[in-house]
Each structure stands twice: as C-alpha cells, then as structure tokens.
Chain A
C-alpha cells in the first residue's frame, strides 16, 4: 500500500501539484481510519489530504483513475443483457458490424431514457469491446479509441430521438431547453464512463506510469497563452474571472493598509485620557492614495491576439484601481478602443468590436511597431501625462520595419513609466524579426508573461506598495 501511495504522490508531483511530505504522511494516517474496500471513501480521503487547490482537483481525478482504477471488466456478464449478438469481430478490425452499433445505440437510448445505470454500464463495456477496436501495444492515445466508439453510436441523432421520446415537442420553450440540457448531461455521463473504461484497458495494457504520462497536461496557470488550443482557452477564460476578483480584493486591501500615514498627535492625546494620560493607543492620519492613469497599447495581430485579450480582460476588471484607463489597439496602425469597454459593456462583444470596427490595419496587416508608435505620438500624445503608466503588450516582432526608437522614446519620456509585457519565451527575444532589445532600454520594466501565473505575478508586483512607489516615483 505504501508503495502504491508513494507512486501516486510521485505522479501528482509530476503533474505539477505541490504535495509535501507532511501531506503524504497525513494521507497514510488517514487511510488507517477508513474502510479500504470503499472506493469513494478512499478517493475522498486522498483528495482531502493531498489536494489543497480546487483547480487541481481534475488533475487529481485523472491520476486517481489511472492509478486506482477498477480492473477492466470482462464481457461475460453482458450475455444476459439485450445488447444484440456481439459476434461481430475481434479487436482491430475497425469496429463492429453495422447491426452491432445499431443494437448498442438502441440499448443506450433506453439506458439514458430510463436512467438505467446497470444497462448504461453494460453499454459502455460493449461499446469498448465491439466498437472501439482496441489493439494491445498500439501506441495511440485513448482519445483515438473514444472517437472511434462514439462515431459509430451517432449521439446527435440519439439526442433528437431522446428529445422526442421524453416528450420534448409538446413542452414550453423553457422546459424544452431544460430537457435538452438534461439529455446532454446524461450523454456526457456516458462519454465520461466510456473514457474511463478505455483508460482502464490502456492501463492494463501498458501500465499506470506510461498512461499517466500521456495524460499529463499542464495546469491551467501554466498553459502557454500563445499556443493554447480551443479547449485550453476556455479553461483559461474560466480561470481569469476568479483571478481578477482575487487581484481586485488584494489591491483594495493593500491600499487600505497603506492608508496609515503620520502620527495624529491630537487624536492620540484625546485617546490617552481613558488610560489616565498614558499614550498607549497611537492614532494616525490617513494618507491620500495615489491612483495612476493607465494607458494600454496592445498588439492584436494574429500571433499575439489571445494574449492581448487576456491582458485587456484583466486590466478592465481592475479598472477601478486606476483614475482612468485608455486602451489602444494596433497592428500596423493604431486606433483608440477605450469606448468599446464603456460602463456595462460586455467584454466579449467589446473584443468583437475591436476586431471588426477598429482601424488597425494600414498597409499589409503585419505588425509594425514603429509605425504604430509614430501614429500614437501624432494622434494621441495628449493621452500621456506625468501621471500615466504605459503598458505595451506584444512580441516586438515588427516584420523588419523601422523600429522608430525616437517615437517610442517620446512616449517613454512623457509617461511616468513604461512596462512591456512580452508573451514569448525570453530565449526567443531578438531572434528573427524580434526587436525587443531595441525598446527594452527605454522601458522601466520588460516582463516575460507566457501564462496566467506570470500575468498574475506581474499585476501583483505592480500593486505591491514597495514596487509601486518605485515605478510611480
């Protein structure tokens, strides 16, 4: 058991979860108190002792499935269930015959409609046996088999059939919607179980370590913003919202803490009267907090559009921390986009308006930092004052155009400070058409921001009192 546990803890650490020695010992101690035959109790116990962040829980669940998954079930107990013949063919022939898939789809239909969990489990098993066509030793991921099994079952047609069979047609609009969601949820349950079963077989075939390795994915805060896929973007999107709330709370706290200024002699003496004249309770004057103006210049060309989007989202969520936020978007021309983010505007539609309405393309639609800065100094120079902090986001890949250091220098001189956020790894800076080092000397800070973790760290460092006073000095 101890070996199992250390192996599991090792896998969690590989997946990026910070599990300390103390926590592993706690887990072992806790296991003494539970019925080891109860899988749920076992899982919840490990979860409570080893995982201390809600967003790490899905990574934990995956690892748990792989390490302590049930043994793959055999097809024998299927015989009693009405699932069709099942005499299709062996593994590897690319799925069962047409009749097989139909019979399974029919069984699935009944299982979902009546919420028959036993039948659903049988369908899962039979689908893997007959439709997924798993081959021992073949180095493909579970997704491939999942896709093969699902393709034959045609869940979309099934959804429509279920919708009709469950009386969806006669319902009101609201009820129809709720019914569809219910069906979708039950089918999702089926997919989850199918995935788990395929995984179990992979583990039996190749061993837990090998499978765990293929399933390992970066935690959401470590996903590279420039290379995130669609599903990952969704994950990041969901993580940004709580993040902004967290940062806003922190900034407000910091401001309040920084409130105490010089000793207030009058108030202190007045307070001392209740203690017989001893000065035991010093009072302080409150200090007026200084809020900078923020000017954001975002490169929104294809390569860095995602990054610009998350930065803008974060900036606008924190807008009340600044006296004023003005934002400008550019590719090879620059345009002001502040008004799209006015009060009550929804963030998603504001972004859509930027890409459709803002005039950010001048010649060829390839980034031209030099021209963008040049236009900024001509058209929007009044946006800058000694109180403004400029934030530039982009990869500084200017497609071999003139960097126009002069214009950028003017911006840097007029503003209180300039910070550049670059979503590329530091080692790629100044390779190819990247001209980061030309601009870097004029900036007060150049930061590599490749993932949410770094973005959070940057915002937090800017709001730290010590750093703020340095930046804003």
Chain B
C-alpha cells in the first residue's frame, strides 16, 4: 500500500502510465478506502491502461471481465457445470436423490467466472470490469454485491466471502447512464484529454525515439483539432499512432502538407477529415 498520492504517481509512472494529480489521488483513495473506482471518459484516453498500470504498480495479478450486451450471471459470476452434473447423475443411477443432490452441488461442479475468481483468490488482485456501460441495467445489479461487500451468494452453497479484497476498476465510455446504485458505491474519476504538457510526455514515453520538438508540435496540433466540432475527436492512442506515422515518414517538422497527408491516421470519419482540412486551410 502506498503512503501518499505522490508515491502512487511514482509507481504508476514506473509502470508506464503518466497520471495527473487527480488520477493519482483517486487511485490512492481507492486503495485506502477499499472502494471500487469508476473510470469514465471518451474512448482511447487510457482507461484500461490505467487499470493495467495499477495492477503493475501494486504488484497484483489482474483479472479482467470484459462486459458486453447479454452478459449474465453465468458468464460473470459462476455457473453450475450441468453437463458434468448430468453425467454424474447417470453414473449414479439407483442411488437416492438425497444422497446425490449433496454431491452434485459442490465446488467440483462449480465453474468460477471472473468475479468469483477475483473474490476467491488467496492473494489480492486487481479486478478490471471493462466497459461496464455495455451491460443492461438489470445486469448491473449482479455487480452490486461484489462491489459493496466483496461477497457472492450462491443459493446452493451459501455466501462466499472474499479471502482477499480485490482492487476494483470499472471503466465506462458513457454510452448510457449507469444506475445510481452502482455509482454510489464507487469513487468517480473522469479522464478527459490531457493538456499539451502531459500529452507531450505521454508521447515521449510511448514513442521514445520521438524528438522533443516534434512531440510538442503533435500535442499542440492535436489540441487544436480537438477544439473543433467533430464526430470523433482524436484520442491519445490516435495521437500516438500519428506521432509514429510522422516518425516513420521521416518528417521532422510538421507543416500543412504533412498534416494533410497523414490526417487519416488521426481521424476516423471522412466528414471529420474534410472539416479539419477546411478549418486548417490545408
């Protein structure tokens, strides 16, 4: 456990993630208060990266639950291995139901899914629940017991309590409003686009061969483009891609022509590319 937010910041930096002081503060609090952390923000600003870096910085293994539409209990929590149970019953023909029923609802027939795994792990882990906004509101309720009390209730077995408290990171692209019940249980962290200084540092750490001046210029141009009204403003991962592209093409200083030729790396919609080209008078 880290002693203060700056220690967290240092550990995250070592893990390859450059936090600002808000991010470091919230990670620190999540660790101290044993509370899940809900990270929200546009796509590509490094939400999942943050979770990975936290796992690295705390030296814990990471368990990941990727959310998608239609995710349910049997994929998130646990499932009874009914095929195995059926085979067992067929092998046991002739025995009384009372004897058998105790047998087939044991841990041997339980398939643990990520949430249960995270709770039962003897060593504390980092649990990443990725893109939680993709599951339906009703499914969110599944998470509440785990997030608030670190336990899972299985009707046939009873309540399984955590042998260690996982550090939970939930990420959301905000494609829908999460329920108040879920938000209430979490610390909230909104990650937006970084300022020029931090973006430059991120570029330099991700693309070490990049010259300082070029990184600075890339960061400034990207900021300028983000200020325009676009369908999909460029994210950090796209500006990293762009910096790599410029480097590959051997461009030392970005001018109008260079931007015009490589704009498609930064922007993913034709209408955006046209709008930016027009605005920058390329």
Contacts and interface: CB of A to CB of B under 8 A. Distances in A.
Interface of A: 18, 20, 22-23, 26, 29-30, 33-35, 40-41, 44-45, 47-49, 51-52, 54, 57, 172-174, 177-178, 181-182, 242, 245-246, 249-250, 253, 256-257, 274-276, 278, 280, 344, 346
Interface of B: 4-5, 21-22, 25-26, 28-29, 32-33, 35, 38, 40-41, 69-70, 82-83, 86-87, 90, 136, 174-177, 180, 183-184, 186-190, 192, 217, 220-221, 223-224, 227, 254-256, 259, 270-271, 275, 280-281
8 contacts: A34-B29, A45-B29, A48-B188, A49-B187, A173-B256, A181-B224, A253-B136, A278-B86
Top 6 closest pairs, chain A to chain B, by CB? A44-B25, A52-B183, A54-B190, A249-B175, A48-B187, A33-B32
Contact of B184 (A20, A44, A182, A344): A20
Contact of B175 (A51, A181, A246): A246
Chain B interface secondary structure, helix, strand, loop or mixed?
helix
A238 B202 CA distance: 27
Chain A interface secondary structure, helix, strand, loop or mixed?
helix
Contact of B223 (A35, A48, A172, A181): A181
Contacts of B28: 33
Given A174-B254, A276-B90, 15 more contacts: A18-B180, A20-B180, A30-B29, A30-B33, A41-B25, A44-B21, A44-B25, A48-B26, A48-B187, A52-B183, A173-B256, A177-B280, A249-B176, A275-B82, A280-B82
Contact of B21 (A40, A57, A174): A40
B228 to A, nearest CB: 11
A470 to B, nearest CB: 21
Contacts of A18: 180
Contacts of A33: 28-29, 32-33
A178 B221 contact: yes
A22 B86 contact: no
B140 to A, nearest CB: 13
B176, B188, B220, B281 pick with most chain A CB within 10 angstroms: B188
Contacts of B227: 181
Contacts of B25: 34, 40-41, 44-45, 48
Given A41-B25, A253-B136, A54 B40 contact: yes
A49 B5 CA distance: 16
Contacts of A276: 86-87, 90
Contacts of A48: 25-26, 29, 187-189
